[in-house]
Structure 1
């Protein structure tokens, strides 16, 4: 830890140090709140992170001295993390904290030690590891939910704008939008169920045959064909031979296990019914948004503009959420979603205008 500076700190430095002090205290509270919701190794890791933040807190207390009082308030963002940690699921909070640790200002601050900057970087990797399992568990239903919501938003906006641009009546546009919502939601739900179910069945076919356990006592110990099993699973000849000898000694055939720290592939794929329901509900909720202006009585260009604005906000939100949970930039992901969605809708709208002009 650095000793307090000999020269009096400037007001600017004091303000910055007080903010760091408040944020370190709040971050420690976040990790403690998350740890209290866990048990075993995960709890110990989170409490360890909280202890590390306490060491950083001590650094700023030493620099501030009497200026540490009254106790400063953490930034709004950090206080929000404390609230989320105490009230919501850990995956979302871990993803946000991972991103925050990765953007620590200590790297460019001469008043922070190199050890503190390195700590923050490593904290980000610790959080990445803790969040990995939760992300994998979310991946099946989350993928279906994001894909369903995005598809509902874009496809029904494109449908509504394309038909509306031809100049047909408001009622026709509304009926088309509702039909698109129902047809799309049912199709998405059914497709997601078949997709996930098929993937789970494919994974199931790679599981070892339980009946092979009965064959172990009768294997030729000299030939040891069991080693071929492990070579087929990716081991080299020496590893396969050693592992096969171990299995023959215990007569316990081990199944394929997930990678260290990883998740069973079936769990990562998700449940077929859960994925189907997520896809159906999120497609329907997304597809409802472009129809809302027409349901509320708007018509013509006004309805089109309202629908486009509402869908744009929804696309930005889904893109930002995906960015946060993936540990990437939420702003970039939000803009990507918006550009793709608006691009598809604009193409359909122009086609509708062309068809409308041809029919008139």
Structure 2
């Protein structure tokens, strides 16, 4: 068999071996941020107002106002965070470009040092270093990824992050407020809100654990516990202040 040729068996194995990698990490992170705060904050607010004997209509009005303000605030925070990340990448990119032009020997030595950390011997990495020196763009990409650990951000990332977090916050925030729409008596509505929100927290926590690689059951219990503590604290504080 001629060198470099792929046999039929190798082609079959390559076709059978399809790697599946989860590549929506940023979106999942934004959804987690939005939904977790959306479920917890309006839930605690509604519980606190219920503890103060507010009416269902007042709780619903205050809750919806908080959801609107929270979605805007959280979305803006996500936008600024993604924008800052992109600005940081561009600053480091320009700096690396200047260093490759101004001090190429120093940068080449850094490439050699990086490769040596992976156990590659000098006689093995010298051709790689020389090849990168002949290809400035590849050299720049290598330094950004392996020296600085930075990936090129998606130019649409800031807007996508803002919208994802805001929408996720609204969806999460509407869950604890829904019972107050249909149940006019606040004492009964708060019980339904607690049950509905705790179920939502369990489901959300399980899904979060599944997508983030942690134990789903443990994540579900932790997420639910945090929400329960927040609402209980708000309810108790309202009762204390009222007393």
* TM norm structure 1: 0.54
Partner of 2:186: 300
Partner of 1:264: 151
Superposition RMSD in Å: 3.3
Change (3 A) 1:48 1:171: closer
Partner of 2:104: 226
The reply to whether residue 252 of structure 1 matches residue 136 of structure 2 is yes
Structure 1 Cα separation of the partners of residues 13 and 94 of structure 2? 35
Whether the 8 Å CA contact 1:164–1:300 is kept in 2: the answer is yes
Q: Which has the higher contact order (CA 8 A, sep 6+)?
A: 2
The reply to whether residue 188 of structure 1 matches residue 74 of structure 2 is yes
The reply to whether residue 161 of structure 1 matches residue 47 of structure 2 is yes
* Alignment length (residue pairs): 221
Whether the 8 Å CA contact 1:141–1:270 is kept in 2: the answer is no
Structure 2 Cα separation of the partners of residues 45 and 311 of structure 1? 47
The reply to whether residue 170 of structure 1 matches residue 61 of structure 2 is no
Whether the 8 Å CA contact 2:71–2:169 is kept in 1: the answer is yes
Alpha-carbon offset, residue 264 of structure 1: 3.4
Select the structure of larger CA radius of gyration. Answer: 1
1:93-172 counterparts in 2 under 5 A? 130-131=20-21, 134=22, 137-172=23-58
Unaligned 5+ runs, structure 1 = 1-40, 50-126, 220-224
Structure 1 Cα separation of the partners of residues 38 and 194 of structure 2? 13
Structure 1 Cα separation of the partners of residues 43 and 161 of structure 2? 23
1:205-354 counterparts in 2 under 5 A? 205-208=91-94, 212=98, 225-231=103-109, 235=113, 245-248=130-133, 250=134, 252-253=136-137, 254-257=139-142, 258=145, 264-266=151-153, 271-354=157-240
Unaligned 5+ runs, structure 2 = 1-9, 117-121
User: Which SS does the other structure have where 1:145 is aligned?
Assistant: helix
Change (3 A) 1:314 1:264: same
Partner of 1:10: none
Structure 2 Cα separation of the partners of residues 335 and 278 of structure 1? 25
Whether the 8 Å CA contact 2:209–2:219 is kept in 1: the answer is yes
* TM norm structure 2: 0.77
Change (3 A) 1:266 1:230: farther
Partner of 2:88: 202
Structure 1 Cα separation of the partners of residues 27 and 59 of structure 2? 31
Whether the 8 Å CA contact 2:112–2:126 is kept in 1: the answer is no
